[in-house]
Structure 1
Amino acid sequence: MSYHCFVIKCGGSTLAALPSSFFDDMRKLQQEGAIPVIVHGGGPAISSTLEQLGIESVFVNGLRKTSEEVLDVVEMVLAGRINKEIVRKIQESGAKALGLSGVDGQLIQAKPVDNTEEVGWVGDVTAVNAELIQGIVSMGYIPVIAPIGIGEDGSQRFNINADTAAGAVASRVGVERMIVVTDVPGVMKTVDGEKKVLPSVTVQEIDQMIESGEIYGGMIPKVRAAVQCIQGQVREVVIVDGTVPEVLSKVIQGEAIGTRIVKEA
């Protein structure tokens, strides 16, 4: 069977809370040869686990300060608990999934970010083993990837921002469109006193809307995250609400749903 991939970025807590119908839709797409590659985060779960262990969470410009001790927890939560929770959910629907982190098969290679002194073991992606992803997909499995990276020599692990990792995976696999599954219907704008979903918006317009205060609060990190995914070959990111029935099928079929964020008009 011929197949094509598309990349989904999702927060771990968002994905865990989605209805079983979301995963049924995913199974249907997989059977039709449209196979998702999932890259997930899990920030809130990492923070609560660190708190339980009495380790302070420190953020520098939105990046989690990652000591070796914090890195152990990040890997345990992301590559362990959350990754397997998502795999179980997919398999409950009857689809086949394989969970792995960027360490496995050197899937995501990374180097330290520029401000390592401030943030510790946070990584920038240098390479993605696209052949490994394509091999998993060709065997009929949905890859579920936790964004832990590995250094070129294979000794040092890195905590990688999930949005950056998803954008790098999408670009290296050769995907032009990426789907960000979240808990909001899209980018909202108030028109004539009424909140409406913007069908399409450019990166530049997003910057202007954040500056003007039209995008505010919890929506800012969501759109900034989506913008981070637009790199390399990725031309557009679609932000959708995962609870909408058959939302993935609708995006794949080109229906106007959620908000398309494009590089430029």
Structure 2
Amino acid sequence: MDVVAMVLFGHVNKKLVALINKAGATAIGLSRTDGRLLIARPSPNSEKLGLVGEIVSVDPSALRPLIDNYHIPVIASVAAHGVGQMYNVNADTAVGSWQRQWGLRSGMIPKVNCCVRSLAQGVRTTSIIDGRLEHSLLLEILRDEGAGTMITG
């Protein structure tokens, strides 16, 4: 089996990290300003919406050593502003921004677009899974029938 290197966006879930580790891989949960991964600015009406931000820059350099050593980064969709304020950012948009750096809105079209972009950049397989289904990531990775929609290049 090939070693799988993934970046997941959504709330960092300690249980998910533990399950990946239990399955034999090495997952590392990252959030907030870890490695200055995501930098944001406040969205219009940010205060009313619960400190929602828009991504202005992505720095994936902190991930390269992790992925090169076969670790799976699990990254929360939280970004920091230059002055230290934290903002919630749309996970689909974060994925799209990340993939552009490695070289959106919620809904299926942005998810599929992100998958297609990943394939165009050399990723062999992408999957869209429902994280609300218990163990969905492990089911997608470890079972032949999976637990989501797989797109291959």
The normalised TM-score by structure 2 is 0.69
What are the ranges of 5 or more consecutive residues in structure 2 without an aligned counterpart?
A: 121-125, 131-135
Q: Deviations over 1:58-85 (max 9, x none)?
A: xxxxxxxxxxxxxxxxxxxx34xx2x11
> Contact 2:115–2:127 at 8 Å: present in 1 too?
no
User: Residues 238 and 95 of structure 1: is their aligned pair in 2 closer, same or farther, counting only changes over 3 Å?
Assistant: closer
Match of 1:159 among 69, 88, 101: 88
What is the 5 A alignment of 1:204-223?
222-223=107-108
Q: 1:145 to 1:94 in 2, by over 3 A?
A: same
The answer (yes or no) to whether the contact 1:167–1:230 under 8 Å persists in 2 is: no
Q: Count the aligned residue pairs.
A: 134
Distance 1:228 1:156 in 2: 30
SS of 1:142's equivalent? Answer: strand
The alpha-carbon deviation at position 116 of structure 1 amounts to 2.5
Letter in 1 for 2:6: P
Q: Distance in 1 between matches of 2:34 and 2:69?
A: 17
State the TM-score, normalized to the length of structure 1: 0.43
**Aligned counterparts of 1:134 and 1:247: Cα–Cα separation in 2:** 30
Contact 1:164 1:228 in 2 (8 A): no
Contact 1:137 1:143 in 2 (8 A): yes
CA distance, structure 2, for counterparts of residue 259 and residue 93 of structure 1: 20
Structure 1 or 2, whichever has the larger Rg, is 1
For the pair 1:29 / 2:5, whether they are aligned, the reply is no
RMSD: 3.1
Q: How far apart are the structure 2 equivalents of 1:173 and 1:247?
A: 29
Structure 1 unaligned spans of 5+: 1-27, 42-77, 175-220, 249-256, 261-265
Q: Percent of pairs identical after alignment?
A: 30
> Is 1:144 matched with 2:74?
yes
For residues 92 and 235 of structure 1, do their structure 2 counterparts lie closer, same or farther at Cα, with a shift above 3 Å needed? closer
Note the C-alpha offset of 1:240: 5.6
How far the C-alpha of 1:132 sits from its partner, in A, is: 0.7
| Greater share of residues in helix | 1
